[in-house]
């Protein structure tokens, strides 16, 4: 049977997220002479990022998060990175909601080391505060060390984390539906603050959770927060197809990216969802120069700043084994079983085998961007690359990862975005004041079977 050629709808635009990360996404970015070390501890730094990203018409700001430092307990293994110090993202986004109008605010929160009621309430509150611009990046926690901050001696096994996550997200969505959209009355004459017929108890009882509800936060202008996920394993793909509306992916090559894209869209249909109900957005680090040579020199300059004590722990975390025990100029050891980043581990081992890379070459190539794809060139050649992925079924858009903040972001907003707009690939103005509206996602229909009968009137 001949393969069906992928085609975009006429006028369809790519979606772009701005992945924010302290002083920059390159692991040694904070060491660059033009970057202010410690900027990631200053809320005004993030205000500048948010305003500049909104000027660039990005769909959303995205913040990854971990509730621990990555890697072993030895401080020497992570003393050279910025990952040990970061704001709690939901709190930070509540502040950024006050200085932005259109851009979405997508924060990470764990289903393994969190509680459904807390997550539902935090994100519903952020959604109301921002006027309908919140998104929840659902993770099962890739940092095994998070367990040590939540009264556990070991990380929860991979399959167990995803089983819990599947129930967790159903509880959260059920809590978001406890209030019908038009429940608020504010009827001063009758003394009715809300319509009691439009408030419901959840009454969920499952394997992992027993949650009565109702939630204490009403609906936002976009109905409920957008659900985002980043899983690439089999469990992650199934969970995304069941619940996610945006999927952040790790893909290095266009052929596997197309296969991944087609697989996720197929799973959506199998679960009774429309293919367009989930947007696939791989991470990309653009390195922009006036010429390709200038861009290559800029990237090489930063790669030389990666200290082995910085690169080895990051790569070790990706592959699931301590690489400090192996020769830097030798190959990776055999792939071990892993309880954390299974999809990312596969990407790293595939790259190492395909390009015959040593451990040193791998950490110089990958740890700067945590295994995401780097595209080095001019604004025109980078736009060529993104256009190819977008138009041929590799992605619905991209989660953009600047080398450094603010300079790397300025290059993207002032050089790459205008080139994408010139080609008709990206918006020239926001379509909506809500995240769901700008992403072109439909307002979800309340799942009445998952909630109780209305609360009896007094």
Structural domains in the chain? 15-287+373-450 (3.20.20.30), 307-367 (no CATH)
Q: Tens of pLDDT along 181-224? A: 999 999 999 999 999 999 999 999 999 999 999 999 999 999 99
Radius of gyration of the chain, Cα coordinates, nearest whole angstrom = 22
Residue 56 has pLDDT above 60, yes or no: yes
Q: In the predicted model, is pLDDT for residue 457 greater than 90?
A: no
Minimum mean pLDDT among 4-8, 29-33, 259-263: which range? 4-8
In 3D, which of 196, 271, 226, 209 has the Cα closest to residue 136? 226
Mean pLDDT of 37-47: 90
Round to whole Å and give the CA distance between 291 and 411. 13
In angstroms, the CA 154 to CA 148 distance is 7
Q: How confident is the model at residue 237 (pLDDT cuts 50, 70, 90)?
A: very high
Identify whether the C-beta of residue 410 lies closer than 8 Å to the C-beta of residue 288.
no
> Does 449 have pLDDT greater than 50?
no
165 CB-side CA count, 13 A: 31
Answering whether pTM is above 0.95, one says no
Least confident of 76-80, 158-162, 164-168: 76-80
Would the pLDDT of 277 be above 70? yes
The three-class DSSP label of residue 280 is strand
Average pLDDT along the chain: 88
Give dist(CA 89, CA 424) in Å, integer: 33
The residues, ordered by sequence, that sit 6+ positions from 88 with a Cβ below 8 Å of its Cβ are 65
Q: Identify the burial level of 51 via C-beta atoms within 10 angstroms of its C-beta, where 0-12 means exposed, 13-18 middle and 19 or more buried.
A: middle
Whether the CB-CB separation of 451 and 176 falls below 8 Å is answered with no
Number of other CB atoms surrounding residue 187 within 10 Å: 11
**How far is 267 from 163, CA to CA, in rounded Å?**
18
| Residue 324 tokens, joined | 């400090």
Q: Which is nearest to 333 in space by CA: 369, 314, 358?
A: 358
Strongest mean pLDDT among 134-143, 225-234, 267-276 = 267-276
Tokens of 163: 């089983």
**With 80 as the cut, is the pLDDT of residue 395 above it?**
yes
> Is residue 158 within 8 Å of residue 233, measured between CB atoms?
yes
**Is the pLDDT assigned to residue 12 strictly greater than 80?**
yes
- 69-126 pLDDT tens trace: 755 554 454 445 555 678 899 999 999 999 999 999 999 999 999 999 999 999 999 9
Measured over all CA atoms, what is the biggest interatomic distance in the chain, rounded to whole angstroms? 78
Q: What is the 3-state secondary structure (H, E, C) of 141-158?
A: CCCHHHHHHCCCCCCCCH
Q: Is the pLDDT of residue 61 over 50?
A: yes
Q: What is the share, in percent, of the chain residues with pLDDT greater than 70?
A: 90
Judge whether 240 and 454 are in contact, CB under 8 Å: no
């Amino acid at each position: 049977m001949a393969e069906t050629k992928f085609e975009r709808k006429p006028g369809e635009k790519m979606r772009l997220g701005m992945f924010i990360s302290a002083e920059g996404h390159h692991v040694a970015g904070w060491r660059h002479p033009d970057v202010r070390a410690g900027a990631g501890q200053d809320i005004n730094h993030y205000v500048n990022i948010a305003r500049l990203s909104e000027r660039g018409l990005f769909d959303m700001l995205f913040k990854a998060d971990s509730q621990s430092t990555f890697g072993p307990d030895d401080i020497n293994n992570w003393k050279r990175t910025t990952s040990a110090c970061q704001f709690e993202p939901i709190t930070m986004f509540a502040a950024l909601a006050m200085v932005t109008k259109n851009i979405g605010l997508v924060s990470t929160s764990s289903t393994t080391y969190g509680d459904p009621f807390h997550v539902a309430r935090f994100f519903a509150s952020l959604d109301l505060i921002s006027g309908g611009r919140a998104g929840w990046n659902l993770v099962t926690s890739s940092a095994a060390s998070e367990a040590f901050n939540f009264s556990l001696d070991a990380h929860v096994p991979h399959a167990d984390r995803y089983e819990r996550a599947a129930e967790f997200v159903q509880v959260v969505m059920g809590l978001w539906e406890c209030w019908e959209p038009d429940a608020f009355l504010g009827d001063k004459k009758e003394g009715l603050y809300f319509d009691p017929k439009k408030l419901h108890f959840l009454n969920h009882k499952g394997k992992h959770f027993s949650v009565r509800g109702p939630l204490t936060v009403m609906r936002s202008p976009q109905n409920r927060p957008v659900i985002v996920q980043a899983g690439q394993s089999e469990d992650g793909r199934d969970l995304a197809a069941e619940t996610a509306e945006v999927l952040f992916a790790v893909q290095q090559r266009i052929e596997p990216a197309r296969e991944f894209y087609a697989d996720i869209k197929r799973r959506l249909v199998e679960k009774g969802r429309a293919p367009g109900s989930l947007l696939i957005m791989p991470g990309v680090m653009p390195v922009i120069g006036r010429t390709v040579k200038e861009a290559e020199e800029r990237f090489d300059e930063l790669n030389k700043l990666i200290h082995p004590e910085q690169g080895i722990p990051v790569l070790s975390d990706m592959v699931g084994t301590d690489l400090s025990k192996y020769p830097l100029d030798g190959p990776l050891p055999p792939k071990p079983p892993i309880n954390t980043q299974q999809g990312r581990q596969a990407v790293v081992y595939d790259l190492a085998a395909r390009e015959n890379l040593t451990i040193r070459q791998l950490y110089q190539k990958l740890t700067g961007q945590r295994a995401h794809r780097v595209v080095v060139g001019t604004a025109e050649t980078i736009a060529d690359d993104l256009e190819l992925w977008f138009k041929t079924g590799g992605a619905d858009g991209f989660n953009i990862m600047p080398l450094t903040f603010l300079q790397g972001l300025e290059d993207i907003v002032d050089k790459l975005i205008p080139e994408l707009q010139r080609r008709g690939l990206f918006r020239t103005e926001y379509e909506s004041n809500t995240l769901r509206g700008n992403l072109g996602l439909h307002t979800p229909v309340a799942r009445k079977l998952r909630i109780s009968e209305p609360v009896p009137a007094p």
